[in-house]
């Protein structure tokens, strides 16, 4: 790639933003990382990938339209990746107005700024599988599937996604939508169930601590690799024509299976006993309880398991797809063990 190209990442302090910054830097791009004031402490992801001193940090609040306009005038990016906004489904029920404003209205501010300041720039907007709502058993969701979200977060993402499409069709913006199913990796926060599992398995492997608690072990997700999905995002903007793409693996993995993969990776022999709220995971040779189910982690408004069909993406850009979930769990748990051994406790 031409080293003179400039990219702007909105929401750069999260998992996806950090992986993307690293990939773009390695390809010769000049990268500006937008972040909201107060999120500076979250730059640990950029630091852990060794790119914090190689990017330009810019304070951008997408809730403030003139702030976005000023940033685009100053940076003049050729590619813009939009990850900014609220990202927690459960929180969206508590703060529905904030969620709608940040994700829908914030995206409108970004689109308007692009239209008036850098109309030839290419945009990648990160949407979510939550736009589909509940799926039928065995249903494979694609770009043409019905959008019927069941929570404020999904509604906000659906609205933003439709705005991006409208600006593409009405104003001829080169704006691509990525409908992202769950994607994981070592840069996940501990408030996500996959990282909660790998962190606690690493903790139990390196110490004599107590078992940890989880919600339903039967809950399932289409889990892919964040790092691999980023490759697809970058490739999607190399295509001349903007479009909508599903990013998914097409396979479901339960929380129980992910827990098993993580425990086996570090040498435990996990077996599950009991049912429902009485279910526990023990290390068979020692009888040590690794994890137990707790009702307080049950989600009152959880959506059904969803699988995505990424065949359009794989055909259009020859995307190689995601590494399997067992490998993802293994990578995550060993990074957590390494962090514990190094005394890194704040991530």
Question: Which pLDDT score is estimated for 183?
Answer: 97
Residues 149 and 293 in one domain: no
Answer yes or no: do 203 and 337 share one domain: yes
pLDDT digits (tens), the chain, 347 positions: 445 699 999 999 999 999 999 999 999 999 999 987 665 468 999 999 999 999 999 999 999 999 999 999 999 999 999 999 998 888 898 999 999 999 999 999 999 999 999 999 999 999 999 999 999 989 999 999 999 999 999 999 999 999 999 999 999 999 999 999 999 999 999 999 999 999 999 999 999 899 999 999 999 999 999 999 999 999 999 999 999 999 999 999 999 999 999 999 999 999 999 998 999 999 999 999 999 999 888 876 677 799 999 999 999 998 899 999 999 999 999 999 999 999 998 89
Whole domain around residue 176: which residue ranges?
6-185+223-251+304-323
Instruction: Give pLDDT, residue 38.
Output: 60
Residues 214 and 149 grouped into a single domain: no
CATH code: domain of residue 148: 3.40.50.720
Q: Is residue 328 part of a domain?
A: no
Query: Domain holding 261: CATH number?
Result: 3.90.25.10
Q: Under DSSP, is residue 67 helix (H, G, I), strand (E, B) or coil?
A: helix
In a domain, 346, yes or no: no
**Under a CB-based contact definition with an 8 Å cutoff, are residues 249 and 222 in contact?**
yes
Q: Residue 2's pLDDT is what?
A: 44
Total structural domains within the chain = 2
The reply to whether 138 and 202 lie within a common domain is: no
**Rounded CA separation 250/208 (Å):** 38
Residues 102 and 120 in one domain: yes
| 98 falls within a domain | yes
The label of the residue with tokens 């308007």 reads: 112
For the chain, how far is it from start to end, CA to CA, in angstroms? 33
Residues 138 and 281 placed together within one structural domain of the fold: no
Q: Answer yes or no: do 245 and 263 share one domain.
A: no
Please report which helix (H) or strand (E) contains residue 124, including its range. Answer: strand 122-128
Long-range contacts of 334-343 (CB under 8 A, 24+ apart): 334/202, 334/265, 334/266, 335/186, 335/198, 336/186, 336/195, 336/198, 336/199, 336/201, 336/202, 336/203, 337/202, 337/205, 337/206, 337/266, 339/202, 340/202, 340/203, 340/206, 341/206
């Amino acid at each position: 790639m031409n080293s003179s190209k400039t990219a702007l990442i909105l929401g750069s302090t999260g998992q996806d933003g950090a992986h993307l910054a690293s990939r773009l830097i390695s390809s010769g791009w000049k990268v500006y990382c937008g972040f909201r004031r107060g999120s500076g402490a979250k730059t640990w992801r950029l630091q852990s990938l060794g790119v914090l001193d190689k990017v330009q940090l810019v304070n951008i609040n997408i809730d403030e339209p003139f702030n976005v306009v000023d940033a685009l005038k100053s940076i003049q990016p050729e590619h813009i990746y939009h990850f900014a906004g609220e990202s927690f489904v459960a929180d969206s029920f508590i703060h529905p107005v904030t969620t709608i404003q940040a994700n829908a209205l914030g995206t409108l501010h970004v689109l308007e700024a692009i239209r008036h300041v850098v109309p030839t720039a290419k945009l990648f907007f990160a949407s979510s599988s939550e736009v589909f709502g509940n799926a039928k058993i065995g249903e494979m969701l694609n770009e043409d599937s019905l959008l019927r979200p069941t929570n404020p977060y999904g509604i906000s993402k659906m609205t933003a996604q439709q705005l991006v499409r409208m600006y593409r069709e009405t104003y001829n913006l080169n704006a691509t939508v990525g409908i992202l199913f769950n994607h994981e990796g070592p840069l996940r926060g501990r408030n996500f169930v996959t990282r909660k599992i790998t962190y606690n398995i690493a903790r139990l492997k390196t110490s004599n601590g107590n078992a940890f608690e989880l919600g339903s072990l039967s809950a399932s997700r289409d889990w892919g690799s964040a790092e691999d999905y980023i490759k697809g995002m970058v490739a999607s903007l190399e295509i001349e024509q903007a479009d909508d793409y599903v990013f998914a693996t097409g396979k479901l993995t339960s929380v129980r299976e992910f827990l098993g993969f993580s425990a086996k990776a570090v040498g435990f022999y996990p077996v599950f006993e009991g049912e429902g709220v009485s279910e526990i995971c023990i290390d068979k040779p020692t009888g040590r309880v690794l994890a137990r189910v707790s009702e307080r982690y049950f989600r009152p408004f959880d959506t059904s398991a969803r699988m995505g069909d990424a065949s359009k993406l794989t055909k259009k850009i020859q995307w190689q797809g995601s590494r399997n979930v067992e490998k993802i769990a293994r990578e995550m748990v060993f990074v957590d063990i390494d962090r514990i051994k190094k005394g890194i406790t704040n991530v």
